[in-house]
Amino acid sequence: MKKIIFGLIIPVFLVGCSTDDNNRLNNPNLPDLNFRIQLNLDLPEYNNLQYPGNSYSTYSNGIKGVVVYNINNSQYTAFELSDPNHPPNNCSAMQVTGITAKCQCDDGNEYNIVTGELTAGEGQYTLKPYRIERRGNAIEVYN
């Protein structure tokens, strides 16, 4: 009897496992790119990331750019700066002000760079998250 119960429970657990760590929605607007960014917090360019509540944006990685936000020196977020509710185009690159990333298209889409949520405008997708790790005085962002 135990073997039968065990045999029925194991497949349920295997089917419930996901290969995607974040269980993200598959967004048809944004392709998956492979990249890796290393930010050395000892360098002046990344100095703001040493303090909670600050962010750093780069437009040379990701689809249209990447923003990194320091929540509390042990937790960070990293998101794509291409509006997830548009295919990449001339106006879909977002500009960051404070904790808001704003799309340059006419729809007025704005997103929170701490949570990735849409805060103004319309759309079904949140910001595309990237993986982020802090190792000593370096932050690594990758997909």
Asked if 41 and 139 count as a contact pair (C-beta separation under 8 A), the reply is yes
Tell me whether residue 132 is in a domain.
yes
Tell me whether residue 59 is in a domain.
yes
CA angle 76, 110, 129 (to 5 degrees): 35
More confident residue, 4 or 87: 87
Tell me whether residue 65 is in a domain.
yes
Tell me whether residue 57 is in a domain.
yes
Tell me whether residue 7 is in a domain.
no
Tell me whether residue 5 is in a domain.
no
Mean pLDDT of the residues in the chain: 87
Q: The tokens of 62 are what?
A: 């990701």
Residue indicated by tokens 């349920």: 12
> CATH number for the domain including 44?
2.102.10.10
To the nearest whole percent, how much of the chain has pLDDT over 70?
Answer: 83
Tell me whether residue 81 is in a domain.
yes
To the nearest whole percent, how much of the chain has pLDDT over 90?
Answer: 82
Distance of alpha carbon 99 from the chain centroid: 14
The count of domains in the chain is 1
Range of the domain at 64: 28-142
Tell me whether residue 66 is in a domain.
yes
> Average pLDDT in the 105-127 region?
96
Stated pTM of the model: 0.82
